[in-house]
A and B are shown apart, each in its own frame.
Chain A
Amino acid sequence: MADRPANSGHARGNLPPLSLHVPEPPFRPGDPVDYSYLTIPLAGAQPRPDEACSASETWPLCQDLIRVLDDDNRAVGPWDPKLDGETLRRILRTMALTRAFDDRMYRGQRQGKTSFYMKCTGEEATSVASAFALADDDMVFPSYRQQGILIARGYPLTEMINQIYSNRADKLKGRQLPIMYSSRDHSFFTISGNLATQYPQAAGWAMASAIKGDTRIAASWIGEGSSAEGDAHAAFTFATVFNAPVVFNIVNNQWAISSFSGFAGGERATFAAKAVGYGIAGLRVDGNDALAVYAAMRWAANRARSNMGPTLIEHFTYRAEGHSTSDDPSAYRSAQERSEWPLGDPIMRLKRHLIALGEWSEEQHEAMDREQIDQVKAATKEAEKNGILGHGLHHPFHTMFEDVFEDLPWNLQEQAEQAIRERRIKWPTWKEYE
C-alpha cells in the first residue's frame, strides 16, 4: 500500500476532530413508535394560491402539508376540490380495487405463479387520486408503485395479470419483470426498473408537447429514495429552464427498501423544498388524503396546462408493506410504524368521509369489498387460462429476438434458429405454441 497518498492524520492545533454524520431512523425492530415529532398541521389550514401565481408564492407550502379531510371526516378549507358523490365513490372504488388486486397478486407470487410482486398498500391515493385529477390522455411516466393509475384509467385487470404471469397473452411478450407494465393506449409509459430514469423523460415529453403546441401535459412519479438519483436533478433543471408542462411527484413513503428517508436528505429538508432551488412551484400534500392529493394534482395540472410551467408535489405517505416480495421489512423497521402512522389509511379516510356525507354506508363498503374480491378472482382465472410463469405457456421463442431492432439483423435471425434447435434437442417432441 506504498502509493497511498500521504496524509498526516494529525489534528491541527486545538481544533476538534471532524466526525461523520450517518443518518439513523427513529425506530428499529422492536422499538416502540412515537410519531409525536412529526408536525401534522390541521386540515383546511393551508392557503391555496392562484394556479397562475408566481412559483415563490407556493414555497411556504413546501414546508407545510396540504390536508383536506379533517378528524371528523369532513372536507375543509380552500383545497377542498368539492367533488360530487359519484366521483368520490369512483375514487374510493378504484383505490379499494387496487388494494384487492395487490393482495391477490401478492398471494399468487407466494403460491409460485410468478417471480415477483410489489404492492402499493397505503399509497393508493397518490396514484389513483392523481389519475382522476389528470386528463386520461395526459402522459404519465410512472415508477413501479403506480399500478393505481392503470386501474384508474380502465386498463383491464386480466391484462395486468397476464403481464405479471409473463404468459402467452402478456402484451409485453414475457420480457419484463412482473408489474413493469406499459400501455401506450392509456398514456402510460413503459416502466423501466432503473430508478428515476423516467423523470427527465417526462420533462422531455412535456417539452415536445409545448414544441408542438399540444394541450397535453406530462406527469411523473418517483420515490423519495430515488429522488437522490442524478436524473431528478436533470429533470428539474430541464423543466425549469424550458418551463415544461410537467408535474413531478415524489412519493415520500418513508422507506427505500431498508433505507429511511434520511438517506435521501429528508433529515434536513422536505422533498417538496427542492422546488425552491429550481425556482418552480412546489406543494407538499398529505398523501393519505385522497382529496388533498386530487386537489394538489389538479392545481398543478391546471397550472401546467395554462403554460405556467412545472410543479413538484411531495406526497407524504407510508409504505405499509415490504418493498417487494423479495423484501422483509421486519429486519430493519419497527412493526408498529404501520399501525401508528398518524395520517391513517387513505381508503378508510375516504370511506368515512363518504359515509359522513351520507353518500356511502358500511354495508355498501362491505358489498364492494366482496364484489372486488370476486372481480379480481375472475380476472385471475381468465389470465390463468393463458398460463402462469414457468409452466410452458409463454410467447413463442422467436419473439425473444423481436423488437431488439425494428428489423431482425442476421445475427439475431441465426440466434433465433439456434434457440429453437436447442429446444428440440432438449425436448425432441416439443412443439411451439403459436
Chain B
Amino acid sequence: MMTLEEAPLSLAKAPTRRLNMIEAINDALDIMMERDPGVVVFGEDVGYFGGVFRATAGLQKKYGKTRVFDTPINECGIIGAAVGMGAYGLRPVPEIQFADYIYPGLDQLISEAARLRYRSAGEFTAPITVRSPFGGGIFGGQTHSQSPEALFTHVAGIKTIIPSTPHDAKGLLIAAIEDNDPVIFFEPKRIYNGPFSGNYDKPVEPWAKHKDSEVPEGYYRIPLGKARVVREGEAMTVLAYGTMIHVAEAVLAEKGVDAEIIDLRTLVPIDIETVQKSVEKTGKCLIVHEATRTSGFGAELSALVQERCFYHLEAPIERVTGFDTPYPHSLEWAYFPGPVRIGEAVDRLLKA
C-alpha cells in the first residue's frame, strides 16, 4: 500500500507511464533539474553522450553544458568537486560509471562528505547524491560487477539507497536529491531493462510487463528510510533489496511459500520498524544479498533481527549471499545467489 506521503502530489489519479529503470532515473533527474536550478549532473560520459547506460540522455541538450557535463576520469575529483559545489549551495548529482570504480573517491566520501556536517557543527553540509550502477549478472567480471554497499553503510553520515523497481527508482532518487545529507544511490544494473528472476537461461522479461514499471508522471518522492512490503505473508520474512527482490520473489512464488518479502530500499537509515514487525509475525527470517557474505549488509541485518526479535525466532536466521571471492567471469552464475541457493535456505527455514 502506498502511504499518503508516497503518493504523487498530483494525487492518486496522476497519469502514469510505463518506464524501465533507466527511463525512470532519467525522468527523476529531469524533474529535479527543472524544479531546482541548483541541481547539477556530471560524471564520465554523462554529458553529450548521455551516460554509458543512457541514464542522463537528453539532459545536457535540455539544461545546458554548465548543468550537465562530462568530467575528467578521476573519481576523487568527481566526488570532491561535488562536495565543493554542495558547500557553495548547489545540489550535485554526480555519477560514478560503475560502483567498482568508486574506490578512488572513497576518501572524499568517507572522510569528507560524510563528516562535513558533524565536524563543522552544521555550518557546512554535503547535499550530494552519488549515483552508481552496481551488481553483477552481466558478465562484467571483477571490475564491473561488485556490490560494495556494505562499505558505505559502515560509514557514519552517509545514506545508502538501492531501488528495485522503476517506480521506486524515480521516487527515491527525487527524495535523495532533496535530502540534505550525502546519499549513495546504487542502481542494480542487471534490472535496468527488466526484472530478473535469477533464471539466466530464460529470456529476459521487459519492465513493461511488471506492475511497478507504471510510474506516475511528474514529481513524487518516496521517503528515505521506508521499506516496502512487496508481498505480505506468514511463513517467513525475506529481507532483500535491488535485483535480489525479484529473484527471491520468483523463487518463493515457484515454491508456493507464503513469505513476507520486504524490500528495504534504504539500508541506512534502515526501516527497523517494518523489519521487526514482520519477523515478530513470521518468526523466521531469510536475508538475501548479492554482495560477498563476510561483513556484508546481511550480517548487520542478522544482528538487528536477533537483537530485537530473538524471542520470536523459531529458526536460525538464514543468509543467502554471493561467495567470498571476487566476482568471476566464466563462473558468474555459479557465483550469483540464484534460485537454487535461495531455495535451499527456504527449505531449511520451512523444515525448522
Size bracket, chain B contacts = 35 or more
- Within the complex, what minimum Cβ distance (angstroms) separates B166 from chain A? 23
List the B side residues contacting A404 at CB < 8 Å: 324-326
User: Is there an interface contact between A194 and B100, defined as CB atoms closer than 8 Å?
Assistant: yes
A228 in complex: contacting residue of B49, B72, B328, CB < 8 Å: B72
Most buried by A among B49, B335, B343: B49
- Whether B48 pairs with A400 at a CB distance below 8 angstroms is no
**Closest B residue, CB atoms, query A264:** B72
Query: Do A389 and B49 contact each other (CB < 8 Å), given the known contacts A174-B328, A195-B73, A228-B73?
Result: no
Q: Which of B66, B73, B125, B328 contacts A256 (CB 8 A)?
A: B73
Residues from chain B with a CB closer than 8 A to the CB of A166 are 329-330
Q: Please report the C-alpha to C-alpha distance between residue A423 and residue B326 in the assembled complex, in whole angstroms.
A: 19
Segment touching B, from A62-70, A80-88, A117-125, A410-418: A410-418
Is the pair A7, B88 in contact by a Cβ cutoff of 8 Å?
yes
The smallest beta-carbon distance between A327 and chain B, in angstroms, is 8
Closest to A166 in B: B330
A192 nearest CB neighbor, chain B only: B143
Is B269 at the interface (CB under 8 A from chain A)? no
B88 to chain A, nearest CB (A): 7
Does B112 belong to the interface (CB within 8 Å)? Answer: no
In the complex, whether B180 has a CB less than 8 A from a CB of chain A is: yes
Q: What is the total number of residues of chain A having a CB less than 8 Å from a CB of chain B?
A: 63
Is there an interface contact between B340 and A174, defined as CB atoms closer than 8 Å? no
For residue A3, give the distance in angstroms from its CB to the closest CB of chain B: 5
Query: For residue A29, which residue of chain B has the nearest CB?
Result: B48
Q: Could you say which of B22-30, B134-142, B297-305 contacts chain A?
A: B134-142
* A425 at the B interface (CB under 8 A): yes
Chain A residue nearest in CB terms to B323: A415
Bitwise interface map of A from 411 to 434 toward B, beta carbon under 8 Å scored 1, else 0: 110010011011101100000000
Please measure, in the bound complex, the distance between the C-alpha atom of A321 and the C-alpha atom of B334, giving whole angstroms. Answer: 34
Query: In the complex, A229 Cα to B89 Cα: how many Å?
Result: 26
Asked if residues B328 and A177 are in contact (CB atoms below 8 Å), the reply is no
The residue in A115, A180, A256 that gathers the most chain B C-beta atoms within 10 A of its C-beta is A115
Name the residue among B45, B66, B71, B127 with the largest chain A CB count within 10 angstroms: B45
A251-266 with Cβ < 8 A to chain B: 256-259, 263-265
Q: Which of B125, B142, B325 contacts A3 (CB 8 A)?
A: B125
In this complex, which of A167, A194, A226 has the most chain B Cβ atoms within 10 angstroms of its Cβ? A194
Query: A residues engaging B (CB < 8 A)?
Result: 1, 3-7, 19-20, 22-24, 28, 115-116, 166-167, 170, 174-178, 180, 192-195, 225-226, 228-231, 256-259, 263-265, 326-327, 331-332, 389-390, 394-395, 397, 399-401, 404, 411-412, 415, 418-419, 421-423, 425-426
In the complex, the 3 A-B pairs of residues with the closest C-beta atoms, listed nearest first: A174-B330, A177-B141, A193-B143
12 A-B residue pairs with Cβ-Cβ distance under 8 Å, sorted by A, are A5-B124, A22-B66, A115-B139, A175-B328, A193-B143, A257-B52, A258-B45, A263-B73, A264-B73, A332-B49, A412-B323, A419-B334
Given contacts A170-B330, A230-B74, 14 further A-B contacts (CB under 8 A): A5-B123, A22-B70, A116-B139, A166-B330, A177-B142, A193-B100, A193-B142, A195-B73, A229-B75, A256-B73, A327-B52, A395-B331, A400-B331, A401-B323
